[in-house]
Chain A
Amino acid sequence: MLDEQWFKEYGEAFSRAKDKSAFFDRYYDPEVTFIHPFKGTFHGKDALVTFWNAGKNAGHAGIHEILHFRNVVAQADKVATELDIEWRCFEDTDYLGPRHKGDVFWGKCAAFYDLKDGKFIRVQLYLNLVAPHRAQPVHP
Protein backbone atom coordinates (compact mmCIF):
# COMPACT_ATOMS: atom_id res chain seq x y z
CA MET A 1 0.00 0.00 0.00
CA LEU A 2 1.44 3.31 -1.07
CA ASP A 3 0.66 5.47 1.93
CA GLU A 4 2.26 8.57 3.37
CA GLN A 5 4.95 6.58 5.21
CA TRP A 6 5.85 4.76 1.98
CA PHE A 7 6.21 8.07 0.18
CA LYS A 8 8.28 9.48 3.03
CA GLU A 9 10.71 6.60 2.59
CA TYR A 10 10.58 7.01 -1.18
CA GLY A 11 11.40 10.71 -0.81
CA GLU A 12 14.26 9.97 1.56
CA ALA A 13 15.67 7.39 -0.87
CA PHE A 14 15.45 9.92 -3.70
CA SER A 15 17.02 12.68 -1.66
CA ARG A 16 20.04 10.67 -0.51
CA ALA A 17 20.78 8.95 -3.86
CA LYS A 18 23.57 10.89 -5.56
CA ASP A 19 23.28 8.74 -8.67
CA LYS A 20 19.59 8.05 -9.27
CA SER A 21 20.13 4.93 -11.41
CA ALA A 22 19.59 2.35 -8.66
CA PHE A 23 16.80 4.44 -7.20
CA PHE A 24 15.09 4.40 -10.60
CA ASP A 25 15.31 0.61 -10.84
CA ARG A 26 13.72 0.22 -7.44
CA TYR A 27 10.70 2.42 -8.02
CA TYR A 28 10.19 3.05 -11.76
CA ASP A 29 9.08 1.01 -14.74
CA PRO A 30 11.69 1.13 -17.54
CA GLU A 31 9.07 2.60 -19.87
CA VAL A 32 8.00 5.40 -17.57
CA THR A 33 6.82 8.76 -18.83
CA PHE A 34 7.66 11.63 -16.48
CA ILE A 35 6.01 14.99 -17.22
CA HIS A 36 7.60 18.06 -15.64
CA PRO A 37 5.75 21.39 -15.90
CA PHE A 38 8.81 23.41 -16.84
CA LYS A 39 11.45 20.92 -17.98
CA GLY A 40 9.47 18.82 -20.43
CA THR A 41 8.60 15.17 -20.80
CA PHE A 42 11.10 12.38 -20.14
CA HIS A 43 10.70 8.84 -21.42
CA GLY A 44 12.61 5.91 -19.96
CA LYS A 45 15.49 5.43 -17.58
CA ASP A 46 18.34 7.20 -19.35
CA ALA A 47 16.40 10.40 -19.94
CA LEU A 48 14.99 10.56 -16.44
CA VAL A 49 18.15 9.64 -14.55
CA THR A 50 20.11 12.19 -16.58
CA PHE A 51 17.51 14.80 -15.69
CA TRP A 52 17.55 13.91 -11.99
CA ASN A 53 21.29 13.68 -11.51
CA ALA A 54 23.25 16.64 -10.22
CA GLY A 55 26.62 16.30 -11.98
CA LYS A 56 27.99 18.48 -14.73
CA ASN A 57 25.65 18.60 -17.78
CA ALA A 58 22.95 16.70 -15.91
CA GLY A 59 19.45 18.13 -15.42
CA HIS A 60 20.11 19.17 -11.84
CA ALA A 61 23.72 20.34 -12.20
CA GLY A 62 24.77 21.95 -8.93
CA ILE A 63 21.46 21.16 -7.22
CA HIS A 64 20.66 18.81 -4.36
CA GLU A 65 16.92 18.14 -4.59
CA ILE A 66 15.02 17.06 -1.47
CA LEU A 67 11.40 15.89 -1.53
CA HIS A 68 8.88 16.41 1.30
CA PHE A 69 5.60 14.53 0.73
CA ARG A 70 2.24 15.24 2.39
CA ASN A 71 -1.44 14.43 1.92
CA VAL A 72 -0.87 11.19 0.01
CA VAL A 73 -4.02 9.64 -1.47
CA ALA A 74 -3.98 6.18 -3.07
CA GLN A 75 -6.76 4.56 -5.08
CA ALA A 76 -6.13 1.26 -6.92
CA ASP A 77 -3.24 1.90 -9.33
CA LYS A 78 -3.28 5.65 -8.92
CA VAL A 79 -1.67 7.88 -6.32
CA ALA A 80 -1.87 11.62 -5.90
CA THR A 81 0.04 13.71 -3.43
CA GLU A 82 1.33 17.13 -2.61
CA LEU A 83 4.98 17.67 -2.00
CA ASP A 84 7.33 20.51 -1.26
CA ILE A 85 10.59 20.42 -3.16
CA GLU A 86 13.69 21.90 -1.56
CA TRP A 87 16.55 22.78 -3.87
CA ARG A 88 19.95 23.35 -2.27
CA CYS A 89 22.59 24.82 -4.57
CA PHE A 90 26.08 23.48 -3.91
CA GLU A 91 27.55 25.54 -6.74
CA ASP A 92 26.49 28.41 -9.00
CA THR A 93 24.00 27.06 -11.49
CA ASP A 94 20.92 27.82 -13.59
CA TYR A 95 17.96 25.72 -12.56
CA LEU A 96 14.59 27.39 -13.02
CA GLY A 97 16.55 30.63 -13.03
CA PRO A 98 20.08 31.71 -12.09
CA ARG A 99 21.19 30.41 -8.68
CA HIS A 100 24.21 30.95 -6.48
CA LYS A 101 26.13 28.46 -4.38
CA GLY A 102 24.45 28.29 -0.97
CA ASP A 103 21.02 29.33 -2.26
CA VAL A 104 18.04 27.31 -1.04
CA PHE A 105 14.74 27.68 -2.89
CA TRP A 106 11.43 25.85 -2.85
CA GLY A 107 8.58 24.73 -5.00
CA LYS A 108 5.12 23.44 -4.09
CA CYS A 109 3.89 20.52 -6.18
CA ALA A 110 0.97 18.28 -6.84
CA ALA A 111 1.95 14.95 -8.37
CA PHE A 112 -0.07 12.17 -9.98
CA TYR A 113 1.43 8.69 -10.24
CA ASP A 114 0.12 5.75 -12.28
CA LEU A 115 1.42 2.33 -11.30
CA LYS A 116 2.12 -0.81 -13.28
CA ASP A 117 3.13 -3.96 -11.41
CA GLY A 118 3.96 -1.89 -8.34
CA LYS A 119 6.21 0.60 -10.14
CA PHE A 120 5.60 4.06 -11.52
CA ILE A 121 4.72 4.03 -15.21
CA ARG A 122 3.51 7.63 -15.54
CA VAL A 123 4.19 10.69 -13.41
CA GLN A 124 2.70 14.13 -13.92
CA LEU A 125 3.91 17.08 -11.87
CA TYR A 126 2.35 20.47 -11.30
CA LEU A 127 4.61 23.07 -9.75
CA ASN A 128 4.18 26.46 -8.14
CA LEU A 129 7.54 28.06 -7.63
CA VAL A 130 7.63 29.89 -4.33
CA ALA A 131 8.35 33.38 -5.62
CA PRO A 132 6.59 36.58 -4.62
CA HIS A 133 6.30 37.99 -8.14
CA ARG A 134 4.19 35.15 -9.56
CA ALA A 135 0.42 35.35 -9.65
CA GLN A 136 -1.56 32.14 -9.68
CA PRO A 137 -4.73 30.97 -11.37
CA VAL A 138 -7.85 31.33 -9.33
CA HIS A 139 -10.39 28.88 -10.72
CA PRO A 140 -12.23 26.37 -8.51
Chain B
Amino acid sequence: MGKKPIRTVADFEAFFAAYNARNWDVLFQYVSDDCVWNASEQCVQGRQAMEAYWLGCHKAIKETLGAPQKVVFGEGMAYLQVPIIMEFLEDGTFFGQAYAKGSVIRFWCADAYTFAPDGTIKECRVYSKFD
Protein backbone atom coordinates (compact mmCIF):
# COMPACT_ATOMS: atom_id res chain seq x y z
CA MET B 1 0.00 0.00 0.00
CA GLY B 2 1.24 3.49 -0.81
CA LYS B 3 2.18 6.06 1.77
CA LYS B 4 -0.21 8.77 2.94
CA PRO B 5 0.80 12.10 4.45
CA ILE B 6 -0.73 13.48 7.63
CA ARG B 7 -1.75 17.06 6.99
CA THR B 8 -5.15 17.43 8.69
CA VAL B 9 -7.06 16.41 11.79
CA ALA B 10 -8.99 13.96 9.61
CA ASP B 11 -5.71 12.25 8.73
CA PHE B 12 -4.97 11.75 12.42
CA GLU B 13 -8.49 10.41 12.91
CA ALA B 14 -7.91 7.86 10.15
CA PHE B 15 -4.56 6.92 11.69
CA PHE B 16 -6.15 6.39 15.10
CA ALA B 17 -9.05 4.44 13.58
CA ALA B 18 -6.54 2.10 11.97
CA TYR B 19 -4.90 1.58 15.34
CA ASN B 20 -8.22 0.86 17.05
CA ALA B 21 -8.99 -1.69 14.33
CA ARG B 22 -5.45 -3.09 14.58
CA ASN B 23 -5.28 -2.62 10.83
CA TRP B 24 -1.53 -2.42 10.55
CA ASP B 25 -1.39 -2.14 6.77
CA VAL B 26 -3.53 1.00 6.83
CA LEU B 27 -1.80 2.39 9.92
CA PHE B 28 1.66 2.07 8.43
CA GLN B 29 0.61 3.98 5.34
CA TYR B 30 0.93 7.03 7.60
CA VAL B 31 4.29 5.98 9.03
CA SER B 32 7.72 6.24 7.44
CA ASP B 33 9.66 3.00 7.14
CA ASP B 34 12.35 4.14 9.58
CA CYS B 35 9.97 5.82 12.04
CA VAL B 36 11.17 6.19 15.62
CA TRP B 37 8.39 5.62 18.16
CA ASN B 38 9.51 7.02 21.47
CA ALA B 39 7.32 6.25 24.45
CA SER B 40 9.98 7.51 26.86
CA GLU B 41 12.04 4.57 28.14
CA GLN B 42 10.63 2.32 25.44
CA CYS B 43 11.86 3.48 22.06
CA VAL B 44 11.52 1.38 18.91
CA GLN B 45 12.24 1.98 15.23
CA GLY B 46 10.63 0.60 12.10
CA ARG B 47 7.39 -1.27 11.40
CA GLN B 48 8.46 -4.67 12.65
CA ALA B 49 9.65 -3.33 16.00
CA MET B 50 6.67 -1.00 16.42
CA GLU B 51 4.15 -3.71 15.63
CA ALA B 52 5.85 -6.17 17.95
CA TYR B 53 6.00 -3.51 20.65
CA TRP B 54 2.31 -2.67 20.45
CA LEU B 55 1.22 -6.28 20.27
CA GLY B 56 3.59 -7.42 22.99
CA CYS B 57 2.69 -4.68 25.44
CA HIS B 58 -1.00 -5.07 24.75
CA LYS B 59 -1.49 -8.78 24.95
CA ALA B 60 -3.48 -8.28 28.18
CA ILE B 61 -5.03 -4.95 27.19
CA LYS B 62 -7.48 -3.61 24.66
CA GLU B 63 -6.50 0.00 24.10
CA THR B 64 -8.89 2.37 22.37
CA LEU B 65 -7.95 5.87 21.26
CA GLY B 66 -10.48 8.68 21.31
CA ALA B 67 -10.62 11.59 18.92
CA PRO B 68 -7.49 13.71 18.59
CA GLN B 69 -7.94 17.06 20.31
CA LYS B 70 -6.11 20.39 20.54
CA VAL B 71 -4.28 19.54 17.35
CA VAL B 72 -1.61 22.09 16.46
CA PHE B 73 0.23 21.83 13.14
CA GLY B 74 3.55 23.53 12.45
CA GLU B 75 6.38 23.29 9.97
CA GLY B 76 7.11 19.55 9.77
CA MET B 77 5.51 18.93 13.17
CA ALA B 78 2.21 18.49 14.94
CA TYR B 79 1.01 18.10 18.51
CA LEU B 80 -2.24 16.64 19.78
CA GLN B 81 -3.95 15.34 22.89
CA VAL B 82 -5.89 12.09 22.96
CA PRO B 83 -8.06 10.31 25.53
CA ILE B 84 -7.22 6.65 26.07
CA ILE B 85 -9.33 3.79 27.36
CA MET B 86 -7.57 0.60 28.43
CA GLU B 87 -9.58 -2.52 29.15
CA PHE B 88 -7.77 -5.42 30.77
CA LEU B 89 -8.71 -8.64 28.99
CA GLU B 90 -6.74 -10.56 31.60
CA ASP B 91 -4.79 -9.68 34.73
CA GLY B 92 -1.97 -7.32 33.84
CA THR B 93 0.12 -4.33 34.80
CA PHE B 94 0.41 -0.79 33.52
CA PHE B 95 2.80 1.88 34.76
CA GLY B 96 3.94 -0.56 37.41
CA GLN B 97 0.45 -1.00 38.82
CA ALA B 98 -1.43 -4.30 38.79
CA TYR B 99 -4.92 -4.46 37.29
CA ALA B 100 -7.38 -7.33 37.47
CA LYS B 101 -9.15 -8.76 34.43
CA GLY B 102 -12.10 -6.50 33.60
CA SER B 103 -10.46 -3.33 34.93
CA VAL B 104 -10.84 -0.21 32.81
CA ILE B 105 -8.52 2.80 33.10
CA ARG B 106 -8.89 6.14 31.37
CA PHE B 107 -6.23 8.76 30.93
CA TRP B 108 -4.86 11.29 28.46
CA CYS B 109 -1.73 11.42 26.39
CA ALA B 110 -0.04 14.11 24.37
CA ASP B 111 1.81 13.16 21.20
CA ALA B 112 4.51 15.20 19.48
CA TYR B 113 4.92 14.18 15.83
CA THR B 114 7.76 14.98 13.47
CA PHE B 115 7.07 14.37 9.78
CA ALA B 116 9.29 13.09 6.98
CA PRO B 117 9.44 15.15 3.76
CA ASP B 118 6.61 13.01 2.31
CA GLY B 119 4.37 13.89 5.26
CA THR B 120 4.48 10.49 6.95
CA ILE B 121 5.37 10.16 10.62
CA LYS B 122 9.12 10.15 11.09
CA GLU B 123 9.08 10.27 14.88
CA CYS B 124 6.53 10.35 17.68
CA ARG B 125 7.14 11.16 21.32
CA VAL B 126 4.41 10.24 23.78
CA TYR B 127 3.69 12.12 27.02
CA SER B 128 1.14 11.10 29.60
CA LYS B 129 -1.23 12.55 32.15
CA PHE B 130 -3.12 10.57 34.79
CA ASP B 131 -6.02 12.00 36.73
Q: A135 to B97, alpha carbons, bound, how many Å?
A: 10
In the assembled complex, B109 has its CB within 8 A of some CB on chain A: yes
* Cβ-closest chain A residue relative to B39: A136
Q: A71-B77, A73-B78, A109-B127 are in contact. Are A136 and B42 (CB under 8 A)?
A: yes
What is the interface size of chain A, counting residues whose CB is below 8 A from a CB of the partner?
29
In the assembled complex, A66 has its CB within 8 A of some CB on chain B: no
> Contact flags (1/0) for B97-131 with A, using CB distance below 8 Å?
00000000001111110100000000011111110
* Cβ-closest chain B residue relative to A74: B74
Segment touching B, from A48-56, A94-102, A122-130: A122-130
Min CB distance, A4 to chain B, in Å? 10
The number of residue pairs between A and B whose CB atoms lie closer than 8 Å in the complex comes to: 114
- Interface size grouping (class) on chain B: 35 or more
Within 8 A of B (CB), among A27-50: 37
Residue numbers in A under 8 Å from B96 (CB-CB): 133-135
Report A's interface with B, CB cutoff 8 A: 37, 71-75, 78-82, 108-110, 112, 124-128, 132-140
Residue numbers in B under 8 Å from A125 (CB-CB): 129
Residue numbers in B under 8 Å from A71 (CB-CB): 77, 112, 114
Report B's interface with A, CB cutoff 8 A: 15-16, 19, 27, 37, 39-42, 53-54, 57-58, 63, 65, 70, 72-75, 77-79, 81-82, 84, 94-96, 107-112, 114, 124-130
Residue numbers in B under 8 Å from A80 (CB-CB): 70, 72, 74, 79, 112
